[in-house]
Amino acid sequence: MADSSTEPKDLSTAILIRVDQSGQGDFKKIQDAIDAVPSNNSDLYYIWVKPGTYREKIVVPVDKPYITLSGTKASNTIITRSEAGEIYDSPTLSILAADFVGRYLTIQNAYEGSGKAVALRVSGDKAAIYSCRILSRQDTVLDDAGRHYFKNCYIEGSVDFICGNAASLFEKCHLHSLAERTGWVTAQHRASPVENTGYTFLGCKITGIGTTLLGRPWGAYSRVIFALSYLSSAIQPEGWNDWAYFTKRLHCKSDRTAFYGEYKCYGPGADRSKRVAWSRGLSKEEATPFLSKGMIGGGGWLRISPIHFKKRPVVATTLQADM
């Protein structure tokens, strides 16, 4: 997490770095632009990615906060890779730094097999993702740790395709299941009742090509809320599932400790008459704490886009010469 002493003084101005495969920018590769940001920087950096397909595995390291990575349109600014493996190793884009903003990008793991293939890993605190398309099949978004905000995003997958232990608000997002039979939208990883983590889906749309469940518990105290969201007929009547294999390993009964709630959802998949008994239809009072950016402390860190830009400082080099 960034030291407060290094926080930018001027949030309206950013240092601009342009990425353009044609050679008309500062760099041709996104990772090279990220590498050019100084460690523990005290300025906002805005990396503007020109349209193109960037076949890269990208990491924003923990010592490089305050980066914005932005395309112009998600449909034509694509970061893609095909890799399966463990969830922490396979991501196409890994965000480890705090105070990251992602905008107007397609982030894809194009692996076609049945293994774990993460498109986006978010492990830094205070990350905001706007109008992005995030595509894979299994564990698409590893929403790992920290406070996060997703808005107007399209997220596609089939198995646990939003997973991890962050505290995240997904607002006006479209979640689409590729599962032909049974899939799971979420696998939230909250492991104890004292952890202030969980996922809220507010004003979202959930669709699918087959049938899917809203979630299953990766951790014993898994917490997920769907509120004011459209649930299509892809949602199975029972809605949620107790992950028996995992809870057996934990020696617990997650159906007694998980918090799975729904509030004023609508559509053919929102009928709660056949829901598992341990899920909850929330009252207004119960739902209210989860219905605003306050659940992620967003009022203190979500920031507007910069309106002024300046050139990247020239890095001085030492000339080796005989005097």
HEC sequence for 171-193 = ECCEEEECCCCEEEEEEECCCCC
Contacts of 89 (CB under 8 A, 6+ apart): none
Euclidean distance between CA atoms 150 and 105, whole angstroms: 13
Q: How many CB atoms lie within 10 A of CB 295?
A: 20
Respond yes or no: is residue 125 known to be catalytic.
Answer: no
3-state class (DSSP) for residue 139: coil
Beta bridge partners of 225: 200, 261
Q: Is 283 left (phi over 0), alpha (psi -120 to 50) or beta?
A: beta
Helix H or strand E segment including 81: strand 77-81
Respond yes or no: is residue 255 known to be catalytic.
Answer: no
Extract the tokens encoding 288: 């209210």
Q: How many CB atoms lie within 10 A of CB 291?
A: 20
Q: Is the dihedral of CA 238, 190, 303, 43 positive or negative?
A: negative
The one catalytic residue among 43, 144, 160, 255: 160
DSSP line for 255-309: HHH-EEEEES-BSGGG--TTS-TTSEE--HHHHGGGSSGGGGTGGGT--PPPSEE
Q: Could you say which DSSP state residue 72 is in?
A: S
Euclidean distance between CA atoms 267 and 207, whole angstroms: 10
Euclidean distance between CA atoms 220 and 252, whole angstroms: 7
The one catalytic residue among 99, 139, 143, 255: 139
Catalytic residues: 139, 160
